[in-house]
């Protein structure tokens, strides 16, 4: 049992305070211990093993069936392979032999037999056999979870407000836990710009990311408080601390939302009159939508893949149409930018199969998945095009890395339009199609992409991770994830330049758009729109009104001449401090004088 009031410090991921009972959910493999069993238990241990593998086979068959329905036979092939692995009699017999001869519990015997198999495959010269290792691990985790009764065991919800502790949770898991009395997350991975970070923030759930040992002092059932504003975690708080935090929780929760609800208007204008458009990033239609409409704020990025996660299966055309049309009508005539599914990477969709990738962020993700899952893509495009009749929808394509990909996608959209036309179904023939610029190759090809696209949206969350080769969700490399690095800034400038040369607008929809530190630089570059989480809108609108566009423009040019991140950081900080103090005159002049 941990001592009272232990405070540990982590990284704040999503603001607010969560208080509740800890539930530690670790990977099943980490929980296995060796237990010697009496001879009389051999039979029941063997039965547990058989039952767990049967359940896994059942589950995989259902997944395969759903995958065929959603994306066709090809995408479902991985489940076919996994069913075969789960049914491997020779392997199961080797586990039973271990249980019987060594008199050990089924999980331990399973883990030992698995290690032998994996070592053998690792040593194999045959690459296809080595590739099977991922599938074998995935099947094994399934079987072990059943054997250990993990699932998570709380399918109907937790009895008390619960804070989940684990390595990382996928967007799908988070959306599902949010409905089951989970009030906060404490994880070892998943930084502020990770997809986990984005989804917890959009759901208003506090989250903290910590070091690998962060959960070691906490066992399931311990009372904990996590403060997502400063990254503090308090284990076994005393009654006084608990009372204090209850007060803080009420205050902090309401702050950013209250600011948005209170706002009369949000039309960011620099102090010399230059207007900048602001837009909202949405993951799920929510309670703030009406306020956004009242304030004249459209949707700059609607992450449609979260539709999938909230349902845990692919919505059919009608379901998608209802959501897309619903949001287009609610915001009409304000623009609504629907991004096609950005699945893959850490946004894993089991129906797509192909889950075994060494490097998912560099793997099968975004538009690559859509183009290779024509059934899924066609369904989504039909729903989007049908919903475009009101004239305010835009379609945005994620993770485009190459012009050929854009051409293939535009062809696909044209084909889908022709299909609708033949069936006399209405759609907006001029629906703008834009490209996310979030892969360095896209930024480098921006000139060519701009000739074919109707608009650009710069996804800085990914652009930073791919440019700096630093996983956006991995705290061990967080220090390399530098948004203000000259390499990243060069790509942003190049993209904006290419867009404007070709007469198309460019927006920024990554987290950078809501950074006060970056705002003067981005505004000065002439970006047309900043799209961000709704609660940040009043903050950024107010910030922009504090400086002149003319200063921002000169400031951006100066920053672009700085050769390293340290110098850029200093310049940004000086500008920030100057704007914050709202000193009279031009902060750029001041900076220039001091140099």
Supply the residues annotated as catalytic. 195, 509
12 binding Mg ion? (CB under 5 A): no
Point out which span in 25-33, 218-226, 383-391, 459-467 binds ligand PEP (CB under 6 A): 459-467
Task: Please state the φ and ψ torsions of residue 73, each to the nearest 5 degrees.
Answer: -55, -40
The interface partner of residue 303, options being Mg ion, ligand PEP, none and the CB cut-off 5 to 8 Å by kind, is ligand PEP
Least Å distance between CB 460 and ligand PEP? 5
For the CB of residue 397, give the shortest distance to Mg ion in the complex, in Å.
Answer: 11
Q: Is there binding between residue 471 and Mg ion (CB under 5 A)? A: no
Q: By CB under 6 A, is residue 460 in contact with ligand PEP?
A: yes
Of the pair 166, 345, the CB lying nearest ligand PEP is at 345
The site partner of 434 among ligand PEP, Mg ion, none (C-beta below 5 to 8 Å per kind) is: none
> 15, 201 in Cβ contact below 8 A?
yes
Which of 455, 544, 549, 464 is closest to 495 using CA atoms?
A: 455
Please give the structure tokens belonging to residue 59: 């589950």
For residue 189, state whether it binds Mg ion (rule: CB under 5 A).
no
| Contact window for ligand PEP (CB under 6 A) among 48-56, 425-433, 455-463, 570-578 | 455-463
HEC states along 102-115?
HCECHHHHHHHHHH
- DSSP bridge partners of 271: none
Give min distance, CB of 466 to ligand PEP, in A: 9
The C-alpha atoms of residue 214 and residue 230 are separated, in whole angstroms, by 15
Closer to Mg ion by CB, 459 or 526: give it.
459
Contact (Cβ atoms closer than 8 angstroms) between residue 539 and residue 530: no
| Residue 85 site contact among ligand PEP, Mg ion, none (CB < 5 to 8 Å, cut-off depends on kind) | none
- 509 phi and psi angles, rounded to 5 deg: -120, 5
Interface with Mg ion, residue 511, by CB under 5 A:
no
Check if the beta carbon of residue 450 is closer than 8 Å to that of residue 413: no
Site string for Mg ion, 65-104 (x = CB under 5 A): ----------------------------------------
Contacts (CB under 6 A) with ligand PEP, residues 509-528: 509-510
Minimal distance, residue 586 CB to ligand PEP, in Å: 32
Q: Does 462 bind Mg ion (CB under 5 A)?
A: yes
Q: Which is nearer to ligand PEP, 142 or 303 (CB)?
A: 303
CB of residue 462 vs Mg ion: minimum separation in angstroms? 4
DSSP element (H, E) containing 339: strand 336-339
Residue 93 phi, psi (nearest 5):
-65, -35
| Subset of residues 399 to 438 that bind Mg ion, contact rule: CB under 5 A | 438
Cross-strand partners of 186: 165, 208
Q: What is the total residue count of the chain?
A: 595
210: left (phi over 0), alpha (psi -120 to 50) or beta: beta
Task: Provide the β-strand partners of residue 7.
Answer: 234
Pick out residues in 188-207 that bind ligand PEP (CB under 6 A): 198
305 near Mg ion, rule: CB under 5 A: no
Q: Which of 105, 111, 445, 461 binds ligand PEP (CB under 6 A)?
A: 461
Closest CA to 454 of 472, 474, 428, 436: 436
Q: Return the one option of ligand PEP, Mg ion, none that residue 509 interacts with (CB less than 5 to 8 A, by type).
A: ligand PEP
Interface with ligand PEP (CB under 6 A), residue from 64, 142, 201, 303: 303
Binding status of residue 59 toward ligand PEP by CB under 6 A? no
For residue 188, how many C-alpha atoms fall within 13 Å in the half-sphere facing its CB?
Answer: 12
Q: Please spell the DSSP secondary structure of 64-111, one letter per residue.
A: HHHHHHHH-TGGGHHHHHHHHHHT-HHHHHHHHHHHHHH-B-HHHHHH
Footprint of ligand PEP on this chain (CB under 6 A)? 198, 301, 303, 342, 438, 459-462, 509-510
Footprint of Mg ion on this chain (CB under 5 A)? 438, 459, 462
């Amino acid at each position: 049992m941990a001592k009272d009031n232990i405070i540990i410090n982590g990284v704040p991921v999503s603001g607010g305070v969560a208080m509740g009972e800890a539930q530690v959910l670790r990977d099943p493999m980490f929980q296995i211990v060796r237990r010697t069993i009496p001879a009389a238990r051999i039979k029941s241990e063997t039965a547990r093993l058989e039952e767990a593998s049967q359940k896994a086979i059942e589950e995989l068959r259902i997944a395969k069936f759903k995958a065929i329905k959603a994306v066709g036979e090809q995408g479902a092939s991985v489940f076919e392979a996994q069913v075969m692995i789960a049914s491997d009699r020779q392997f199961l017999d080797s586990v039973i032999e271990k249980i019987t001869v060594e008199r050990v519990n089924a999980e331990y015997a399973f883990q030992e037999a698995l290690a032998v198999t994996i070592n053998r495959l690792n040593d194999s010269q045959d690459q296809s056999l080595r590739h099977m290792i991922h599938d074998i691990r995935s099947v094994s985790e399934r079987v072990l979870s059943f054997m250990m009764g993990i699932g998570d065991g709380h399918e109907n919800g937790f009895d008390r407000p619960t804070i989940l502790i684990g390595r990382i949770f996928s967007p799908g898991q988070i959306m599902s836990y949010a409905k089951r009395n989970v009030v906060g997350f404490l994880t070892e991975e998943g930084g502020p710009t990770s997809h986990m970070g984005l989804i917890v923030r959009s759901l208003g759930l506090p989250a903290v990311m910590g070091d690998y040992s962060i959960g070691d002092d906490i066992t399931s059932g311990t009372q904990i408080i996590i403060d997502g504003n400063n990254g503090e975690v308090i284990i076994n708080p005393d009654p006084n601390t608990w009372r204090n935090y209850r007060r803080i929780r009420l205050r902090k929760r309401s702050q950013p939302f209250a600011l948005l609800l209170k706002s009369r208007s949000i039309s960011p204008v620099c102090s010399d009159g230059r207007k900048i458009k602001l837009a909202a990033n949405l993951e799920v239609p929510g309670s703030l939508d009406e306020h956004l409409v009242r304030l004249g704020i459209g949707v700059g990025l609607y992450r449609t893949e979260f539709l999938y996660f909230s349902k845990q299966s692919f919505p059919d055309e009608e379901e998608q149409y209802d959501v897309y049309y619903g949001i287009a009508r609610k915001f009409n005539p304000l623009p609504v930018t629907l991004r096609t599914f950005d699945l893959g990477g850490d946004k894993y969709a089991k129906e797509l199969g192909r889950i075994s990738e060494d490097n998912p962020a560099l793997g099968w993700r975004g538009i690559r998945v859509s183009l290779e899952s024509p059934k899924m893509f066609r369904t989504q495009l039909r729903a989007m095009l049908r919903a475009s009749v009101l004239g305010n929808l835009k379609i945005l394509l994620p993770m485009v890395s190459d012009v050929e990909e854009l051409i293939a996608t535009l062809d696909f959209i044209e084909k889908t339009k022709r299909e609708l036309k033949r069936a006399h179904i209405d759609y907006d023939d001029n629906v703008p199609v834009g490209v996310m610029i979030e892969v360095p190759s896209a930024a480098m090809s921006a000139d060519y992409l701009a000739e074919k696209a109707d608009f650009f949206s710069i996804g800085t969350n990914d652009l930073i991770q791919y440019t700096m080769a630093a996983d956006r969700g991995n705290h061990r490399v967080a220090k390399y994830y530098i948004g203000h690095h000259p390499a990243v800034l060069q790509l942003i400038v190049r993209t904006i330049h290419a867009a404007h040369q070709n007469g198309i607008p460019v927006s920024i929809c990554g987290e950078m758009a809501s950074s006060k530190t970056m705002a003067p630089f981005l505004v000065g570059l002439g970006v047309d729109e900043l799209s961000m989480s709704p609660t940040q809108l009043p903050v950024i609108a107010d910030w922009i009104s504090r400086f002149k566009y003319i200063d921002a423009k000169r400031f951006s040019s100066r920053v672009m001449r700085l050769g390293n991140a340290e110098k850029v950081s200093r310049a940004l900080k000086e500008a920030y401090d100057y704007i914050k103090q709202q000193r009279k005159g031009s902060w750029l002049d001041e900076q220039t004088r001091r140099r």
